[in-house]
Amino acid sequence: MPLREVLQFPDKRLARVSEPIGKISEQIRQLAADMLEVMYDEPGIGLAAPQLGEAIRLIVVDTEWPEDGAERNPLVLMNPEIVEADGSITWSEGCLSVPDLQADVERSERVTLAAKDLDGKALEIRAEGLQAVCFQHEIDHLDGLLFIDRISRLKREMYVRKRKKQLRQDQLEAG
């Protein structure tokens, strides 16, 4: 089966606020498996369900870069929430849903995340640096936010213009 498509800005589905997950169903498990497949294929270090068009509060994260062939150990997190945050860090972020852009974003440097895993077990994870940034970026997706909503207005507008121009050009070439 082909991999599921990652929605890209300005797809409006990326701007929806996602619903909390109640019961863990076979559909949720399948979605998590699809998300991991897409994340590792790209490759990326995180993915949120809305990026595959599903408005539910589910993210996957793996910020480790193991040796070739080593087993991966991703985090699959349901209803993730930042319950504590401190410090501040600026990170150059990118996103599979925001093609051709990397930009500095200010985030909390250290966070504590509360979530449930796919067995419904409550987790609390203390993270800093890249993993803390990734948690905040993915949870933003669940709230309908992209990292370009956290950069300067000027930079955002420049990107939006460039992106629209590119899309028009793609359309002309396809037509």
What are the residues binding Ni ion (CB under 5 A)? 95
The pair of three-digit structure tokens given for residue 30, joined into one six-digit string: 């399948």
- Provide the minimum distance between the beta carbon of 122 and Ni ion in the complex, in angstroms, as a whole number: 25
Structure tokens of 142?
A: 């669940």
Q: How far is the CB of 44 from Ni ion (least distance, A)?
A: 8
Nearer of residues 75 and 95 to Ni ion, judged by Cβ: 95
Query: From residue 12, how far is each of 4, 9, 17, 26 by CA, in Å?
Result: 18, 8, 11, 27
Q: Exactly one of 64, 81, 124, 138 is catalytic; which is it?
A: 138
- Judged by beta carbon, residue 120 or residue 160, the one nearer Ni ion is 160
Q: Where are the beta strands (DSSP E) in 108-172?
A: 110-116, 122-128
Whole-Å CA distances, 11 to 41, 101, 164: 22, 16, 12
Output the smallest distance, CB 56 to Ni ion, in A: 16
Question: What phi, psi does 15 have (nearest 5°)?
Answer: -100, 5
Q: Can 138 be counted among the known catalytic residues?
A: yes
In this complex, which beta carbon is closest to Ni ion, that of residue 125 or of residue 145? Answer: 145
For the annotated catalytic residues, the residue numbers are 138
